[in-house]
Each structure stands twice: as C-alpha cells, then as structure tokens.
Amino acid sequence: MNQAKSSTYSIAQLGHAVLRQRAAEVENILADECQQLINQMMLAVSEAGGVGIAAPQIHHSVRIFIMCSKPNARYPDAPLMAPTAIINPEILHCSSEKVKGWEGCLSVPSMRGLVPRHSQITVRYFDQQNNEHKKEFTGFIARIFQHELDHLNGLTFIDQLESTKDLISEVEWYQQFAKTP
C-alpha cells in the first residue's frame, strides 16, 4: 500500500472511516493538545507538499484545517499564502457563480477531479491564537477553503463531482494538463 507517512503522522486514505465523519467543534483552541495538533498538521502538509490539509486526514476528527497555498508541481499557478490554521470554520455567504477547477487530494493521491466550487465566499473562523476572522476569499484560495471544509463535513472532492467523467488519474492529468518548464 502506498500511504503517505512520516515519523509523526499518516494520511488517511479514501475509504477510511474518519474521512466520512462530521468533525467535532474545537472547544479550547489554546489547549496544548490543540496547539500540538496544529503544529503536527503544519508539518504534515509541508512534508506532503499539499496546499491544505484537514485534521481528519491525519486521523483527528476535529474542525481544523491548514491552508498554505504555494506554487508546486501539482498547482503551478497557486498564489502564495502563509500557512494558516483555520479553526471552527463556516461559510457565511457564497457567490451563485461556480467555477470548475482541477483538484487533487492527499487522501486520494492517484486521482484528480474537475470540481465545481463557488468562485467567491465569505467565511468566519478562528486562528491558532483564538482570534476570530471574517474574510472574503476568491479563486484558488476559495477553492482550497471549500475543499478542506468538505473534509470536516465527511466529504471528499469526489463527492462534489457532477459526473464521474470529470475524474482522471493523476498520471493522465500530468500528461494532459501539466505545464512543462
């Protein structure tokens, strides 16, 4: 089995029960246990080369995800965003417009999907220091937020596809769509 691992975590793969559970609200963001989990998630997403990771993906069913957009082999046009802990997130408003874009997932490493997402969202969440934020996200950052929030609600990008015809292997995606240097 080709499961992503390091010395500190393993990434839950599609089919694992934790990926289908609604994650619990975080009661005490400043608790050592919560802070350690956030630090572990920061390390996990960095080591895995992702642009986001949700706590259920490392086997913790709580409402935390990390967003850390950056250009990489999987998302060469991704904007730069400092790694940010998003805790107890909610979407307050969504644009009616949806845009399809290719998504992959650390829990579904061999597949990509052409997923429709709201192009603009207004969100509320708490950060690692327990500060409340209300922000508007657009484009790729809005896509990451929606993708990771799905994980907290027991969904993966595959659940958001309009058709299985919008699903492609990662190998084929690179051959057809990856930009050559």
Active site residue ranges:
148
Q: Which two tokens stand for residue 174?
A: 């690179």
94 is in an annotated binding site: no
151 is in an annotated binding site: yes
Asked if 36 and 43 count as a contact pair (C-beta separation under 8 A), the reply is no
Helix H, strand E, coil C: the string for the chain is: CCCCECCCCECCCCCCHHHHCCCECCCCCCCHHHHHHHHHHHHHHHHHCCCEEEHHHHCCCECEEEECCCCCCCCCCCCCCCCEEEEEEEEEEECCCEEEEEEEECCEEEEEEEEEEECEEEEEEECCCCCEEEEEEEHHHHHHHHHHHHHHCCCCHHHHCCCHHHEEEHHHHHHHHCCCC
State how far the Cα of 62 lies from the Cα of 142, in Å rounded to an integer.
21
Query: Which residues participate in the annotated binding site?
Result: 105, 147, 151
Query: Which residues participate in the annotated binding site for Fe cation?
Result: 105, 147, 151
